[in-house]
Amino acid sequence: CSLHHIFYIVGCGLQIFTSSRAIANGLLAIAYLTVSVLSHRTSLPAPMFSRNDVSIWSILKKCIGMELSKIAMPVILNEPLSFLQRLTEYMEHTYLIHQANTTTDSMERMKCVAAFAVSAVASQWERTGKPFNPLLGETYELIREDLGFRWMSEQVSHHPPVSAFHAEGLQEDFLFHGSIYPKLKFWGKSVEAEPKGIISLELPKYNEAYTWTNPTCCVHNIIVGQLWIEQYGNVEVINHKTGERCSLIFKPCGLFGKELHKVEGYILDKSKKKLCAIYGKWTECLYTVDADTFDAHKKSDKKNSEEKKSEYLIRPEEMPLPDGDTVQVIPGSELIWRIAPRPDNSAEFYAFSTFAMQLNELEEGMKGVLPPTDCRLRPDIRHMEKGDIDSASAEKKRVEEKQRLSRKNRSKSTEEWKTRWFHQGTNPHNKAQDWLYSNSYWDRNYSLLPDIY
């Protein structure tokens, strides 16, 4: 954490004073002094409001089946983070990528990468607040020396809303990038987010690239009852060099609640032969085990559960009870990932993890270093974080109106919106349309940035 601060302060210093080493050194000394009194925060400035007394239904009943980005949602349903910041939570378990880099066996690397892909969505657990829609041109950066990465992202399209991101290992052991279009659908009792877009991970040491897409996320009971989150769908992690793949199913909870949060699948070689099985829950942990052992276990488990199925019957709109708190571990399994516990104060603060708690922190050393488009400078999110819902709501309206106006201005002229840090192109690994990083963000040339707040 201390290095993190230095990076900001020194990064700024070096840019201004590159010609004067003495001053830069002086700055470094000051940076150290500053660092000793700073540390990452462990809570937000104000606890969240209760959502119980808001009549959401009166707002939403007209909107069934509509795409959610077209509905003006009350701020009280939000969490004080932009979607760009929420995306950054993919990086919480970056150690799994470092682990993949140091492993010489490609199947072992795939285990780490698959665990990273699952861990990347684990922060969604109990996170029922909606992140703020990023404004066109909004950016977010995060440098975590302690976790060994730096990240930057930009909102590159408004309709449809597309967020592009690019992260790199500080030791140059990986590149992680992608573009996400969270297609949200409102279904009356639930909101479903289908994260369209591709995610790529590159390990230069092995000249390998992996790609995958995230599962669908669904928030249940948004009108009445207990809110809960489900993720379902297939996730296939492909190693484009070896042809190996990890085929995972995020299971829908089902009528019996028995499959709640379960993830399972296999790592296959390029001739589709099963190399090993992976199983667990995205909310908890993941194990690997020999494929035959796994199949034998499933067979006997299925027989047992048919005998006692009726015990699990629940009404589908209730929060289903998981079958036991933990994953049933098959003998011979190896743990590959376990979720870090949420901090004790998490429930007061939008179910944030410790990592999430720090995302919108505006540290002293960042002021004047961050571009003016950074999420941390967004007034509506800042107000919400401080617990001032009325100002948050007013500012949200204002910045969205400003966005509409400048869009209208552009449509009247020949001027077109230009993304600043990404350009559209073809993903070199799977040939799909993607947004590619233009490689210059960390030079910190802010000369062409729009005024969006």
Residues binding ligand NAG (CB under 6 A): 98, 101-102, 169, 171, 173, 205, 402, 405-406, 409, 445, 447-448
| Smallest distance, ligand NAG to C-beta of residue 107, A | 16
SS3 content of the chain, % helix, strand, coil (to 5): 35, 25, 40
| Smallest distance, ligand NAG to C-beta of residue 102, A | 4
Q: Which residue's CB is nearer to ligand NAG, number 19 or number 55?
A: 19
Residues in the chain: 453
Indicate the pairing of strand 78-82 with strand 175-186: unpaired
Helix (H, G, I), strand (E, B) or coil at 266: strand
| Smallest distance, ligand NAG to C-beta of residue 98, A | 5
128: nearest Cα among 282, 339, 316, 346 = 346
- Cβ neighbours around 60 below 10 Å, total: 20
Burial per residue of 394-429, b for 16 or more beta-carbon CB atoms within 10 angstroms, e otherwise? ebbeebeeebeebeeeeeeeeeeeebbbbeeeebeb
| Smallest distance, ligand NAG to C-beta of residue 171, A | 3
The radius of gyration computed from the CA coordinates of the chain, to the nearest angstrom, equals 23
Q: Is 265 exposed, middle or buried (0-12, 13-18, 19+ CB in 10 A)?
A: buried
Q: Which residue's CB is nearer to ligand NAG, number 216 or number 373?
A: 373
- Residue type (1 letter), 255: L
| Smallest distance, ligand NAG to C-beta of residue 402, A | 5
Q: CA–CA separation, 332 vs 110, rounded Å?
A: 19
| Smallest distance, ligand NAG to C-beta of residue 415, A | 10
Q: Which residue's CB is nearer to ligand NAG, number 274 or number 444?
A: 444
Q: Which residue's CB is nearer to ligand NAG, number 101 or number 358?
A: 101
**Helices 2-17, 21-37: inter-axial angle, 10-degree rounding:** 150
Q: Which residue's CB is nearer to ligand NAG, number 42 or number 102?
A: 102
Q: Which residue's CB is nearer to ligand NAG, number 185 or number 402?
A: 402
Q: Which residue's CB is nearer to ligand NAG, number 98 or number 183?
A: 98
| Residues β-bridged to residue 151 | 142, 167
Contacts (Cβ under 8 Å, ≥6 apart) of 42: 343, 345, 354, 357
Residue ranges of the alpha helices (H) in 308-388? 354-357, 379-385
Residue ranges of the alpha helices (H) in 18-122? 21-37, 57-60, 83-87, 95-101, 106-119
| Smallest distance, ligand NAG to C-beta of residue 83, A | 22
Indicate the pairing of strand 274-281 with strand 216-220: unpaired
**Distance (Å) of CA 347 to CA 9, 44, 49, 132, 384:** 33, 12, 11, 19, 16
Q: Which residue's CB is nearer to ligand NAG, number 102 or number 226?
A: 102
Q: Looking at beta carbons, which residue is closest to ligand NAG? A: 171
Indicate the pairing of strand 78-82 with strand 130-132: parallel
Indicate the pairing of strand 190-196 with strand 175-186: antiparallel
Q: Which residue's CB is nearer to ligand NAG, number 292 or number 415?
A: 415
Q: Which residue's CB is nearer to ligand NAG, number 102 or number 326?
A: 102
Q: Which residue's CB is nearer to ligand NAG, number 176 or number 266?
A: 176
Q: CA–CA separation, 229 vs 221, rounded Å?
A: 9
| Smallest distance, ligand NAG to C-beta of residue 172, A | 7
Helix (H, G, I), strand (E, B) or coil at 335: strand
| Smallest distance, ligand NAG to C-beta of residue 405, A | 4
| Smallest distance, ligand NAG to C-beta of residue 120, A | 20
| Smallest distance, ligand NAG to C-beta of residue 399, A | 10
